[in-house]
Each structure stands twice: as C-alpha cells, then as structure tokens.
Amino acid sequence: MAGLLIVNPRSGDESGSDGLLEAAAKRGVRVHVSRPGEDLAETARQAPDGPIGVAGGDGSLAPVADVCLERDLPFVCVPFGTRNHFARDLGLDRDDPVAALDAFVDDVERRIDVGRANERLFLNNVSLGLYARLVHRREQHRRRTEAVARLRALAILAQHPHPIGIAIDGKPVRARVVLVANNSYSLEVFSLGEREGLDEGCLHLYALAGPLRSAWEERKGRRFVVGASGPLGAAVDGEPDELETPIEFRVEPRALRVLVPRAVLSAQ
C-alpha cells in the first residue's frame, strides 16, 4: 500500500530523523521533509493517491488529516513531537516512531471522530481564554519539570481571577477556562489525561469557574456555539490561534480513516 510520509523535523529531535527516513524507505514509503514555512496541507493535496502520514507533533497533524478527509484517503500518525497526545490516545508508543510506520504496510484501518471549530479541524481539543494562555506558557517552558509548570499555571490563575466573558449556546457562562474536546478526557486542573476512545461521536465541553478540580462543569453534545464580544485567544491542538466569534464547535463522527499498526489492535 505504501504512501507518503511528511516529516516535520522541527517538531522533534532532528538528529533522530535519519533513522526514521531509513525505516520509511525500507517499508516502501516515500518521504517528504518539510521546509520552514511550508504549507503541510498543500503538500498533502499534491500527493498521489494513497495513505498520507505525518511525522510530527500534535500541531502538525490536523492540516494533513483535513486533506485526507477531503480526498477520502487514509491518514497515518507517526509520533515525532514533544507530547504526541493524539498518538498516545490512538494507542501508539510515543517513544517509538519507527514502529508507527508499520501502519503503512499492515493496512489496518480505524474510523475516528474529528472536531471542527468553525471550519478548522481539530483532533484533540480547543482551549479558550486563560487555558489557552496556560498552554502557550507551558509550551514555551516545556523542558521544565511538571511541578514547576503547575506552579506557574497556578500563579497565572491567581493573577487572572475574572471570567473570560463568553456565552455558550446563547447563555452567559462565568468561567476562566473553557476547553472543547473531541471525545472525553480524564481532566485535571492544569493538564489533560488520556481519552479512552476516539469514536464516541460527541464533543465534551469543560468550563472551569474556580481553581479546584471539583469546579469543572462538563457538557456533552454534538454541537456547541461559543459567543463573545470579539475574537478569542485559543490553542487548537496546542497551537496558538485567534478564533472569530461566534465559534461553532461540531463533531464529525467516525469521519477520518486512520491506519494503525496491527500490534496496536492486538494490544487493545
């Protein structure tokens, strides 16, 4: 079946890319190493028919996955970034990108949900307001210990006690943190746990009014509309962005064809 692997060398350790390229070639997979400023979606649109994979972090995946939806082509995730949350929830070993390449040859397909924020696709989640700021700060200091990261997050919460001024489905909500997730997360105040599934067919909206885990308010549905007086700062799959309001969040159940190594299904 082979296919094309787009490698984003800036997502991970560039020194490890040579072994990944060699392993891909052994499996008959063509490789394209992206350049700074390159549009990954356009690269995927120009690819021949067949599976298209991305070796990168969470922020590299969605643009290519969206093109795979447009073209009805299988998508392959190869963990090659800092956190690789999507790869983890898919059941891949985040520390073994070479093993993920077996998806190209094993031809084992899953159908998973994708989310949309207006027209922008997301695979994991979209955070708004203060939580987006926390994500950006944590990304800037991702090499620090988890304890230090949590203390920094707590300090930011203490400095910004006011709600972000939004309405959800037309009703005002007092919350400093809002997160819309593609499927359900185990959730802590300053970090996200794992998702048990990727094909539930629902979005989960989490709103945090206070600093404690018990203050999370959770809603579940296929569509939410978030309104505000102007654009909202956001983190879309961990990538900083600004979204025009109102933001229509919706889920597309089992829309994306994803190839996984046969070993992943055997382990589940």
Q: Cα separation of 252 and 32, whole Å? A: 29
Q: What is the predicted pLDDT for the residue at 268?
A: 65
Q: What is the predicted pLDDT for the residue at 28?
A: 96
Could you give the count of Cα atoms lying within 13 Å of 147 in the half-sphere of its Cβ?
A: 0
Q: What is the predicted pLDDT for the residue at 14?
A: 53
Q: What is the predicted pLDDT for the residue at 189?
A: 56
Q: What is the predicted pLDDT for the residue at 146?
A: 47
Mean pLDDT score across all residues of the chain:
86
Predicted structure pTM score:
0.87
Q: With residue 66 as reference, give the H or E element that holds it.
A: helix 58-71
pLDDT digits (tens, 9 = 90+) for 184-217: 998 765 566 899 899 999 999 998 876 555 567 8
Q: What is the predicted pLDDT for the residue at 162?
A: 61
DSSP letter assigned to residue 48: P
Q: What is the predicted pLDDT for the residue at 138?
A: 53
Residue 129 has pLDDT above 80, yes or no: no
198 contacts 183 by C-beta, under 8 angstroms: yes
Residue 229 has pLDDT above 70, yes or no: yes
pLDDT over 70, % of the chain: 79
Q: What is the predicted pLDDT for the residue at 12?
A: 56
Asked which of 62-66, 69-73, 230-234, 252-256 is least confident by mean pLDDT, the reply is 230-234
Q: What is the predicted pLDDT for the residue at 193?
A: 83
Q: Show the tokens assigned to 90.
A: 């898919």
Q: What is the predicted pLDDT for the residue at 164?
A: 81
Q: Left (φ > 0), alpha (ψ -120 to 50) or beta: where does 17 sit?
A: alpha
pLDDT digits (tens, 9 = 90+) for 53-110: 999 999 999 999 999 999 999 999 999 988 899 999 999 999 999 999 999 999 899 9
Q: What are phi and psi of 47, to 5 degrees?
A: -75, 150
Q: Cα separation of 116 and 226, whole Å? A: 13
Q: What is the predicted pLDDT for the residue at 150?
A: 47
Higher pLDDT, 7 or 82: 7
For residue 182, the cross-strand partners are: 203
Q: What is the predicted pLDDT for the residue at 145?
A: 47
Instruction: Supply the angle between the helices 130-140 and 146-159 in degrees, to the nearest 10.
Output: 150
Nearest partner of 120 among 79, 62, 171, judged by Cα: 62
